[in-house]
Structure 1
Amino acid sequence: MDYKQIASEILEAIGGKENVSAAAHCATRLRLVLKDESLVDEKKLEEIDAVKGTFSTAGQYQIIIGAGTVNNVHREFVQLTGIEEMSKDEVKAEGNKKMNPIQRFVKMLSDIFVPIIPAIVAGGLLMGIHNLLTSEDLFFDGQSIINVYPQIADLAAMVNTFANAAFVFLPVLIGFSAAKRFGGNAYLGAAMGMIMVHPDLLNGWGYGGAVVDGEIPVWNILGFEIEKIGYQGTVLPVLAAAFILAKVEQFFRRVVPSALDNLLTPLLTIFITGVLTFTVVGPLMRQSGHLVTDGLVFLYETAGFVGGGLFGLLYAPIVITGMHHSFIAVETQLLADIARTGGSFVFPVAAMSNVAQGAAALAVIVVTANAKMKSIASASGISALLGITEPAMFGVNLKLRYPFYAAIIGAGVSSAYVTLMKVLSIALGPAGLPGVIAIRPDSMMHFLIGLAIAFAVSFAMTIVLAKRAAKKEA
């Protein structure tokens, strides 16, 4: 490949070097911050053989080139533009300046929760394995696997312990990640999370029963009673605590003499944040979190399959805006409070949407004569079926439009079905075909049927709409 030629063609198509503010690359994409994205000539970009697709998100214009090629193109691109080489984080920071307040809020949630997803996914999938081992009627009539093979009962118990850890100590994970994001010391954030789930406190999941029994333990300090309640499985309280901690720490870093900084700042930060958390912030945020969770569950249960279908229809358009990152916080709360919620209804809908996008992209192979588009559609379609939709959505479906319309129809129909069947997930995971292990055992078959509906409807609708589009062009 002539990497310099490719870089030159890309530069010309995006409006010249005067339109480039920053550039970096990841494993497969050239990540740019442009001064004016309206100057981009999409048609010219599509005609460049090395370009597999484009999309804009979080203030960045991203050009999909592919592993092993993008780094070489980036090197030539930087030389042609004369800009400094930047890391992905620096380009992200530059892109953030272009976002509106809502986009920045969603980006903040994403920055906090994305790093902890692997721990939550691992715990959730282990929970799925535990359910496979202990659920009756799944493999044997009236019996579970451990009933038939009692010698692995302790294995199931061990898996359950491993599975619960990430959710029991969720405030520690969120405290670390959120404090870092808010500009505080991540380890102080983790310490605050540990305080909120300390064994000396009443377990957060037993709070409701303790209120009924009138047995809530308290600290009696100078005549003031402060409830000794833990925050296991909560999201909003620890987010608020981490924000306060970061701001308190920043204040003391400015005013405490440097000789005493390492001694007094952590002490005062933890003490003040802890007192505020247990007296004001924690109780208020706990109730707010329960209201949000109960409201979502109420909406899910009352709107029924109509609401589920509408959510599925809108899920892909929401992904385009980047707002779907805010669902991570919602799902985390639903899963952390699984005893009340039963699981998350967001994950199944996301899986339906992703598979629908993949099916529509794969259908393009059948209806297009463009060899380059066939190549992109095949690779990106398979990727979407496995839960990664950006290449299919931005590289194929939105470019041709009719596959995208077909996909959201398929997502709406299949989401209505899984909502009607009350399919819930017990974990975060790959929102696609492999996501079946994250689904409650009693819902797995309905989840698979939903995926089949998503694939079939989207694939068929793409072919139908393609024929209509061809007739219009003729």
Structure 2
Amino acid sequence: MSNLELAKKLVELVGGKENVEKATNCMTRLRLTVKDASIVKGEEIKGCEGVMGYIVDGTSLQIVLGPGKAKKVADICTDELGLPKVKSGTDNWEDNKASMKSIQKQSPFKKAIRTIADIFIPLIPAIIAAGLFNGLTSLITTLQGQGVLAADGFWQVTQLIFGLIGSGFLGYFAIYTGINSAKQFGATEALGGMIGAMSIAANIVPISTFFGLYNEEQPLNSILTTGKGGIIGVIVGVWILAKVEKYVRKHVPDVLDLIVTPFVSLLVTGLIFVFAIMPVAGYFSDGLVAVLSIIINSANPVVSVISGYLLSALFLPMVLLGLHHGLIPIYAIQLEALGGVTLFPVLAMAGAGQVGASIAIYLKAKRTGNNRLQKVITGALPAGFLGVGEPLIYGVTLPMFKPFITAGLGAGFGGAYVMLTHVMANSWGPSGLVAIPIMKPDSMLNFFIGLVISYVAGFIITQFTIKEKDVANA
């Protein structure tokens, strides 16, 4: 089935174009928001060729298609089949009522996680690319320092260009976060970007010094300094901006809106942001880093092994519930405070456990003649090795359930090793072999060893736990 045929089939099964309010995608999923979830034919969607999984949360549908394919199908849905990219308005009061009831069914925690996901999912390609370029920059710099590569000429230019590209995103991460936060909260996107830019602007230091909030001896311990509060502060600041902007716009005459609304909104929000949100969010971020350091950077090997095992083993259920997107602010906080991310490499082992478990299931499927399962695993394994585990989760291990558990148990061993060896990444992204260049140069080998340990442990535990009759009937 071609991507066009699949897109047409999926639109038909979700109730047609008229039932879709928004269509978008993440790395592996086509994400649809529908008006009436009761008319969606979920079982038929699951059975479609090319569909690896299907998740429903109220009126939000997530159809797992795999990396690359999800983007292509989403583009066909919006560009060729006319599905809206943004949520369209409804004039029917029954539709509005149904939509409100759907929102009310979600817990505040789930809504917060979904908002975080919607802010950062569009940034994932840039995060991955920037991490790879920064990782390669660090590797070239290290090899130049060791005399393996020349410090001038071709390698000097390459190192400078790679560093330029990598810093073009991560250096201004707060601005991108501000823009996307504005999209979610209903503020003007450019103003949201300005809030993000304020957080990293040089003028923060003299302002902080003037009010006695700056610690010249230890700048990072200042109550207020550049970058204080990180992206958590930016998200909160833009949320307040949205409230202020809507209030001002409501009370300003139309003829003055273009001038007065952005000026007043930024002035009010800027003062609150600089003198309240940044310091408070900064204390929260510093506290979070301190707590994580006790667990992740512990000098006690027993603590490292236990925490690494548990974090890796329990990460897959978080992915299943969509809660893993809530970890992105933590990654960003670590990157800002430590110059790297130590939590991501540990959690990345979860996908490797999936790979090992799936290989074990494939061999059993081959012995029992389950051709369907062999075909699914063959199609999903390459993505698994590249760090995209959802095709394996929703196409193989989760439907059988027991392998979903054994994969997590196997991943824990790789996580324990990675935690014990203090692996650190330049960024975060896919969690498989392609993540090796994202690691700090001195962490690349240990990250790879961790992956291998997770592959092997996931395979062994699944091999001795799952019976062939369970595979034959899957």
Fold-level similarity (TM above 0.5): yes
CA deviation after TM superposition for structure 1 residue 36, in Å: 6.6
Structure 1 window deviating more from structure 2 (354-363 vs 421-430): it is: 354-363
1:137-176 matched pairs, under 5 angstroms: 143-146=146-149, 148-151=150-153, 152-153=155-156, 155-176=158-179
CA deviation after TM superposition for structure 1 residue 393, in Å: 0.3
TM-score of the pair, normalised by structure 2? 0.78
Q: Percent identity?
A: 25
> Residue 254 in 1 paired to residue 250 in 2?
yes
Q: Is the 8 A contact 1:418 1:450 kept in 2?
A: yes
Corresponding residue number in structure 2 for 1:193: 196
**Aligned partners of 1:58 and 1:329: how far apart in 2?**
23
Q: Secondary structure at the match of 2:348?
A: helix
The one-letter code matched in structure 2 to 1:211 is: N
**Alpha-carbon deviations, 1:15-52, whole Å to 9, x = none?**
xx7xx9758686985957575799966xx877x47364
Corresponding residue number in structure 2 for 1:235: 231
Corresponding residue number in structure 1 for 2:281: 285
The one-letter code matched in structure 2 to 1:231 is: G
Q: Is the 8 A contact 2:311 2:347 kept in 1?
A: no
**Aligned partners of 1:458 and 1:158: how far apart in 2?**
40
Q: Is the 8 A contact 1:312 1:352 kept in 2?
A: yes
CA deviation after TM superposition for structure 1 residue 193, in Å: 2.2
> Residue 133 in 1 paired to residue 140 in 2?
yes
**Alpha-carbon deviations, 1:388-421, whole Å to 9, x = none?**
2222101111111232122111111110111111
Q: Relative to structure 1, is the Cα distance of residues 203 and 180 closer, same or farther in structure 2, using a 3 angstrom cutoff?
A: farther
> Residue 105 in 1 paired to residue 112 in 2?
yes
The one-letter code matched in structure 2 to 1:385 is: F
CA deviation after TM superposition for structure 1 residue 438, in Å: 0.7
Q: Relative to structure 1, is the Cα distance of residues 25 and 202 closer, same or farther in structure 2, using a 3 angstrom cutoff?
A: closer
CA deviation after TM superposition for structure 1 residue 107, in Å: 0.7
Q: Relative to structure 1, is the Cα distance of residues 54 and 90 closer, same or farther in structure 2, using a 3 angstrom cutoff?
A: farther
Q: Is the 8 A contact 1:176 1:186 kept in 2?
A: yes
**Alpha-carbon deviations, 1:230-251, whole Å to 9, x = none?**
2278212211211111111111
Structure 1 window deviating more from structure 2 (243-252 vs 291-300): it is: 291-300
Q: Relative to structure 1, is the Cα distance of residues 458 and 326 closer, same or farther in structure 2, using a 3 angstrom cutoff?
A: same
CA deviation after TM superposition for structure 1 residue 96, in Å: 5.6
The one-letter code matched in structure 2 to 1:297 is: S
The one-letter code matched in structure 1 to 2:439 is: I
Select 2:297's aligned residue among 292, 298, 301: 301
Corresponding residue number in structure 1 for 2:355: 358
Q: Is the 8 A contact 1:170 1:233 kept in 2?
A: no
Q: CA RMSD in A?
A: 4.1
Corresponding residue number in structure 2 for 1:211: 215
Q: Which of the two has higher C-alpha Rg?
A: 1
Corresponding residue number in structure 2 for 1:224: none
Q: Relative to structure 1, is the Cα distance of residues 214 and 115 closer, same or farther in structure 2, using a 3 angstrom cutoff?
A: closer
Corresponding residue number in structure 1 for 2:442: 442
CA deviation after TM superposition for structure 1 residue 194, in Å: 2.2
CA deviation after TM superposition for structure 1 residue 181, in Å: 1.3
**Aligned partners of 1:293 and 1:51: how far apart in 2?**
41
Q: Is the 8 A contact 2:351 2:384 kept in 1?
A: yes
**Aligned partners of 1:286 and 1:97: how far apart in 2?**
32
**Aligned partners of 1:471 and 1:109: how far apart in 2?**
37
**Aligned partners of 1:395 and 1:471: how far apart in 2?**
13
Q: Is the 8 A contact 1:57 1:322 kept in 2?
A: no
**Aligned partners of 1:49 and 1:239: how far apart in 2?**
38
Corresponding residue number in structure 2 for 1:410: 410
Q: Is the 8 A contact 1:351 1:433 kept in 2?
A: no
1:358-437 matched pairs, under 5 angstroms: 358-368=355-365, 369-437=369-437
Q: Is the 8 A contact 1:167 1:233 kept in 2?
A: no
The one-letter code matched in structure 2 to 1:351 is: A
**Aligned partners of 1:161 and 1:31: how far apart in 2?**
36
Q: Relative to structure 1, is the Cα distance of residues 294 and 469 closer, same or farther in structure 2, using a 3 angstrom cutoff?
A: farther
The one-letter code matched in structure 1 to 2:361 is: V
Corresponding residue number in structure 2 for 1:80: none
The one-letter code matched in structure 1 to 2:423 is: V
**Aligned partners of 2:472 and 2:179: how far apart in 1?**
56
Corresponding residue number in structure 1 for 2:126: 119
**Aligned partners of 1:440 and 1:112: how far apart in 2?**
27
Corresponding residue number in structure 1 for 2:91: none
> Residue 465 in 1 paired to residue 450 in 2?
no
Consecutive unaligned residues in structure 2, runs of 5 or more: 89-95
Q: Is the 8 A contact 1:133 1:145 kept in 2?
A: no
Q: Secondary structure at the match of 1:103?
A: helix
**Alpha-carbon deviations, 1:327-364, whole Å to 9, x = none?**
1111111112234xxx2122212321112212322332
The one-letter code matched in structure 2 to 1:349 is: V
Corresponding residue number in structure 1 for 2:93: none
Q: Relative to structure 1, is the Cα distance of residues 200 and 29 closer, same or farther in structure 2, using a 3 angstrom cutoff?
A: closer
The one-letter code matched in structure 2 to 1:50 is: E
**Alpha-carbon deviations, 1:106-143, whole Å to 9, x = none?**
011111122233333333222211211122xxx69x81
